Amino acid sequence: MTLKETLAVLKNNKCKDDEFLKIVFDSLNTFNHKDLRLFIKQLLSSDLTVKYKYNPYLLNILIAKYPLKHEEITHHWRFKYDKWLEPYHVNMYSCSIFSTYGQFVFACKLDRDTVCRCIISPQSNIYNFGINVIEPDSFFDLDKVVFLDLETTGLNPLTDDVIEIALYDPSSGNEYTRLLPLNRSKMIPSEIESLTGITNNMIKDSTPITSQDLDNLIDEFDLRRKIILIWAGMNMFDAHFLATLFINTGNKNFNILKFASAMDIIKNNSGISFNSLSKDYLASYLNINSECSHRALNDCKIEAEIYKTLYNRKK
């Protein structure tokens, strides 16, 4: 389709989410530079449906294809811009950004290829559009879940890198772990090195994960059927970073993955009122060894052991 025809279909607002993403993928691969620029600006404009604008998965695709300059607006500007952004400015859209002090939605204004971001709300799950999040009313059986954990260079899935990925199947004991090279960052920050134990030297000879590698993981861990449990609340932190791996490799199978929050399952279905849902606290409470945490595979196993213990108590 031409640019005009594509925009007409999107503005018609009748295509389903997966159809919409397919149109975007196809357009990004076929439009010339000029049409691509116009296409992206139109996607982020106010005359398209809200659910497209509030889509971090889509935003990640667009930035990966056509990088935009980012201008950070710091936490000190929060109150000034909170007032300015309510109601939302006509050229605003939201994306998923995370900080060390919590989970936030950031508003973004596209102006001459600049994305300006500022905090507008600490509570919203609208930015999980594009990620298939399941909210169960009980514990999943152990043979239906796989644990995922990622180590990253920071907390922003739009600008930071995944440096380690791990998967663990508690029913079979099948495990996978891999260090990944930097893509967006120049080096691993010292605080991340201290936290994870992963150094710049350790990843210097690592190779990027490929689309075929991701397909192999889907098959090996039966991810078309099983549910990926991540240690997160409604923000689905690891899922957003995993999406960047699929986007960067051009793999279009991310939408078949199903995610759930292990923390939410434990909170809502264990029947126990915990003081904290952190891995360290729960492991200590349940007498589970949590030494050497903050490496992806070890965290997966600790999370699986916590989940398994509470699952067995509930049965």
| 32-57: pLDDT as tens digits | 878 887 787 676 554 554 445 445 56
The DSSP call for residue 241 is H
* Nearest residue to 148 via CA among 125, 124, 168, 177: 168
Query: Domain spans of the chain?
Result: 3-65, 72-128, 142-314
H or E, element range at 98: strand 92-99
**Long-range CB contact pairs, 80-89, < 8 A, 24+:** 81/107, 81/118, 81/119, 81/120, 82/118, 82/119, 82/120, 85/118, 85/120, 86/120, 88/120
For the record, the structure tokens of 125 come out as: 């799950």
pLDDT at 163: 97
Q: pTM of the full predicted structure?
A: 0.70
pLDDT at 30: 87
List the beta bridge partners of residue 168: 147, 175
- pLDDT at 107 > cutoff 60: no
Residue 87: pLDDT band by 50, 70, 90 thresholds? Answer: very low
The neighbour count for residue 221, using CB atoms within 10 Å, is 21
* Nearest residue to 133 via CA among 19, 223, 239, 54: 239
d(CA 186, CA 246): 21
Identity of the amino acid at 296? A
Burial 86-121 (b: 16+ CB within 10 A, else e): eeeeeebbbbbbbeeeebbbbbbbbeeeebbbbbbe
H or E, element range at 149: strand 145-152
- One of 3.40.50.10470, 3.30.420.10, 3.40.50.2300, 3.40.50.300 is the CATH number of 142-314, namely 3.30.420.10
Q: Over the stretch 178-220, which tens digit does the pLDDT of each residue have?
A: 999 998 888 999 989 998 999 999 999 999 999 999 999 999 9
pLDDT at 23: 79
pLDDT at 131: 80
Contact criterion met (CB below 8 Å) for 148 and 164: no
Q: Over the stretch 273-314, which tens digit does the pLDDT of each residue have?
A: 888 888 889 999 999 988 766 799 999 999 999 999 999 998
**Cα-trace Rg, the chain:** 20
